[in-house]
Amino acid sequence: MTFDPNEYPLLPPELAAIMVDVPPMPPVTADNVRAIREHARVASARQPRSEVHRVEDRTLPGPDGAIPVRVYAPSPAPSLPVLVFGHGGGWSICDIDTHDALCREIARRAEVLVVSVDYRLAPENPYPAGLEDFYAAASWVVEHAADIGADPARVAVGGDSAGANLATVTCLLARDRGGPTFRHQMLAYPGLDAVSERAGWTEMAHAPMVSARTGRSMWAAYAAGHDPRDPYLSPLHASDLSGLPPAIIVAPGYDHGRDDFAAYATALENAGVDVDFRPYPGMVHGFLSYFAAVPACSRALDEVCAALRKGLADA
């Protein structure tokens, strides 16, 4: 469908102008996924990249081989708080390069060390490969924080879209496996329910950036025949969300996941988890990545980073 800005009156004008020129992402298949990945790399290469004190590529031990990560240190200060970050892309596209600019901004604005995880992608490596990579990387950061200049008592997990799904499920796994303790979770438009029938999936089915049809194809590529109601796939189907770390949830209104975000915030609150729910009615899926071109997106990123910085402050 052709994007019509009149259907989205709350969109900031700068973002509406961008959406006119951004073609909708097609449904992901094994045949086209490599082309979609290349398009994402080319588009992301145009983003400006802020200078930070230190950027380091390294590998961490994983469940099935080494996991590439990129570490962003905003300053030379020791024992920095840290965010283990999972990039978006429907578990099937994007990587640490496509999200390099955003991770630099988060490191700089939140004053946290960011560890961006290049987890394995579907459909070549479906569930639970990417999840186990992210969990292993987050666990390593807690156990070896001093090696990268981080404070093991102030480790958050987070990400955008599919990466936010991996982050919140990692919190479930850490609780259930008796694993590491995370201080906070930062969830920007997370994937939460592979079989959601909430209203947003119909009312925002053709929203900019990622349509409901494309979203379903990404879930299918990732799940690859596993039960889509498995809570380690779809955390909104977890019977128990208690004992999870406080959460920031970033919720754009022009997004088919709109009502899933709100439902997860309510479910966490009902389980006794502190939630900082941040609705952005006029924004689209992926909007934080437009910080350089859209002032309203930059202000939102400032707000989210301030909340993360507060959540990771010394007790």
- pLDDT tens per residue across span 272-283: 999 999 999 999
Question: Would you call 256 a catalytic residue per the annotation?
Answer: no
In the predicted model, is pLDDT for residue 287 greater than 70?
yes
Chain Cα centroid distance, residue 134: 12
Q: Residue 74: CB partners within 8 Å, gap ≥ 6? A: 52, 53, 80, 107, 108, 111, 112, 113
What is 170-181 written as a DSSP string?
HHHHHHHTT---
The active-site residue out of 95, 255, 259, 260 is 255
* CA–CA dist 198, 186 (Å, integer): 23
Beta bridge partners of 53: none
Structure tokens at 215: 């979203």
pLDDT at residue 238 tops 90 = yes
Annotated catalytic residue, options 116, 161, 211, 217? 161
β-pairing, 184-188 with 247-254?
Answer: parallel
The reported pTM is 0.98
CA distance 211 to 205: 5
The pLDDT assigned to 315 comes to: 57
Residue 161 among the catalytic residues:
yes
* Residue of 92, 234, 285, 289 with catalytic role: 285
Report the alpha-carbon distance of residue 23 to residue 115 in Å, rounded. 30
Identify the CA nearest to 90 among candidates 247, 207, 226, 257: 257
H-helix or E-strand spanning residue 117: strand 113-117
pLDDT at 96: 97
Q: Which residues contact 56 (CB under 8 A, 6 or more apart)?
A: 70, 71, 73, 148
Nearest Cα neighbor of 209 from 297, 126, 89 is 89
User: What residue segments make up the domains of the chain, in order of their start?
Assistant: 5-311
Average the pLDDT over 186-210 and give the result: 97
Tell me what the mean pLDDT of segment 15-28 comes to. Answer: 92
What is the pLDDT at residue 37? Answer: 97
> Quick check: is 255 catalytic?
yes
In which band, very low, low, confident or very high, does the pLDDT at 24 lie, cut at 50, 70 and 90? confident
Give me the pLDDT at residue 1, please.
Answer: 65
CATH topology of domain 5-311: Rossmann fold (3.40.50)
**128-186 per-position pLDDT tens digit:** 999 999 999 999 999 999 999 999 999 999 999 999 999 999 999 999 999 999 999 99
Q: What is the pLDDT of residue 23?
A: 82
